[in-house]
Structure 1
C-alpha cells in the first residue's frame, strides 16, 4: 500500500500536476492540503476519471483537505471532534482497514502571536483525539503538512526564524510520537538536508534552503510493515509548482 501526502497550495492551480503525478505514481492513497477552494468547486469528475474516489473538506481561499483513494472510502469524518473550529483542516477516512487522517496544521505565523496560541491549542486537541483513535484503530496513519520541523536536521542550518522550529512546536510533535506514532521518513537512512518545503523567494529551492514539515506518522502496527519513505522533488521543479513536494510511504500489507 502506497500512501502519499502533498500540500498543493491551490488545487485549482495545481490540478494538472496532481493528475499527472497520480498517473505516474499510482498511490493507493493521496492526501492533499491547502485546496483553497469550496466543496462545490472540487474537481470530482477529473479525480474520478483518474481512477480515484475522493473525500474533501474545503473553504474559499484558505485551508482545505482531501483524501483520494483507489479503493472506496468509509467512516469519513470532518474536523477534530469537540474542537470548535471553522477552518477546514482535518479529514479522516478508512481505506481497506487503514484509518487515514489528513491534516493541514496551522502555520502559527510567529511565536507569541494569537495564531501561534491557536496552533498550540489545535495541536493539543488533535493529540487528545488521536489518543482515542489509536485505541479504536490499530492501523492508523496521520499525515499532512504539519508546519513543524521536528529536529534541527529537518531545517536548513541557516534557518533563523523561530516559527516551525520553536521548542513549543517541537514538544507538540513529540507528544504525537509519544502516542506511539513513528515518523516514517526517519525509519530509514536519508540524505542530509532532506526537505519537503522551499519558499518561492530568494531561489530557495535552487539553494535547497528548506524545511521538512510534511510528515507521515504510523501506528506501531504500520511501522512494522513500512518498507520505504521518500520525498519526491520532481513536482517542485515544474512550472508554477506548489512550494511543497509529495512525501510517500510504502507499506507491505
Structure 2
C-alpha cells in the first residue's frame, strides 16, 4: 500500500499531472495541500475516472487541503481541537468556516480521515512570513495545538497507526536547508523556536521517510534557478506514530516531479506500508482494479 503527500500548489492547474503520477506510481492514498479552490471548484471527475474517492476542504483561492483515496474514507474532520484561526472571515464561506479558540476564523489547513485502521491528516502548516510577523506567532500556536492533539490521540489509543502528513514549512536541521536566501536569525523555517517545535512532536510521531530516503529536498523556489542549483529545502513530511512506523517498508522523495511543464514547487513524498492496515474494510481485489485516465 502506497501513501503519499504533495503540496500541489493549485490542483486546477496541475490535475492532469497529479492524477497521471498517482496512477503511474500506484498510489493508494494522497494527501494534498494548497489545492487553492473551493470543493465545488475541485476537478473531481479526473480523480473519479482514475478510481479515486475524494475528501476536500477549501474555502477560497488560498490554502486548502484534500485527500484522494482508492479506499473508503470515514471520520472526516476539517479541524483539530483548539486549532487557532487567523485574519478575517472569508466572504461567502460562513457555513464552512469555523472560529478558533482565539476568536479568529480557522483556515482550510487541516483535514483528517480514517482509511481502514489508519488515521491520516493532510496538513498545511502556516508559513510564518517573518519572525516579527503575527503569522509567525500563529504558526507556533497552530503547531502547539496540533502536537497536543497528537499526544492526546495516542494517549487514548497507543496502538493507533497515525500519520501527520504535509507541508510543515520547517526545515528541522541544517541538512534540510539548501536555500542560501534563508539565514539564521533572520528567516522563518529555520528559527530555533520552529525547530524546537518540530522536535517536540518526537517521539509521539516521527519522520518515517528519512530512514529510507536519507538525502533530498522536497521544495525549490521557482526563482533564482533554485532547482537546477539544487538550492531547496526539506519541508514536506510524513510523521508517523510508532504503530504506523512499524509497518513502513520503504519511502521515497519524487524529485523528478519538479521537472517538466508547470510543476509544483514541491514534490511528492511517498511511504510504502503493510496493506494489513486496511483491514477495516480492505478488499484485496481493490489493488487489482484497473485505472482509467484521460
- Asked if 1:49 is matched to 2:49, the reply is yes
- Match for residue 39 of structure 2? 39
Alignment coverage as a number of residue pairs? 250
From 116, 121, 139, the counterpart of 2:161: 139
Give the deviation of 1:177 after TM superposition: 1.8
TM-score, scaled to structure 1: 0.95
Question: Which of structure 1's runs of 4+ aligned residues deviate more than 6 A?
Answer: none
Which 5+ residue runs of structure 1 have no aligned equivalent? none
Deviations 1:64-123 (A, max 9, x none): 000111100011111122331421000000111100011000000011211101101101
- Match for residue 235 of structure 1? 257
Which 5+ residue runs of structure 2 have no aligned equivalent? 84-99, 276-294
Q: Secondary structure at the match of 2:27?
A: coil
**1:170-185 alignment to 2 at 5 Å?**
170-179=195-204, 181-185=205-209
As a proportion of its length, which structure holds more helix? 1
- Asked if 1:125 is matched to 2:149, the reply is no
Give the deviation of 1:159 after TM superposition: 4.8
Give the deviation of 1:189 after TM superposition: 5.5
- Match for residue 247 of structure 1? 269
**1:78-157 alignment to 2 at 5 Å?**
78-83=78-83, 84=100, 85-134=105-154, 135-136=156-157, 138-156=160-178
- Match for residue 7 of structure 1? 7
* Distance in structure 2 (CA, Å) of the matches to 1:40 and 1:2: 27
- Asked if 1:203 is matched to 2:225, the reply is yes
- Match for residue 234 of structure 2? 212
- Match for residue 187 of structure 1? 211
Q: Secondary structure at the match of 2:201?
A: helix
* Distance in structure 1 (CA, Å) of the matches to 2:68 and 2:116: 13
TM-score, scaled to structure 2: 0.82
Q: Secondary structure at the match of 2:228?
A: helix
* Distance in structure 1 (CA, Å) of the matches to 2:160 and 2:268: 25
- Match for residue 87 of structure 2? none
Structure 1 residues 157 and 43, CA gap change in structure 2 (3 angstroms): closer
**CA RMSD of the aligned region, Å?**
1.4
For the Cα contact (< 8 Å) 2:124–2:167, is it kept in 1?
A: yes
As a proportion of its length, which structure holds more strand? 1
Q: Secondary structure at the match of 1:94?
A: strand
* Distance in structure 2 (CA, Å) of the matches to 1:189 and 1:55: 29
* Distance in structure 2 (CA, Å) of the matches to 1:169 and 1:29: 28
Deviations 1:118-168 (A, max 9, x none): 101101111111112223361111100000111111011735332111111
Greater Rg, structure 1 or structure 2?
Answer: 2
Structure 1 residues 87 and 157, CA gap change in structure 2 (3 angstroms): closer
- Match for residue 76 of structure 1? 76
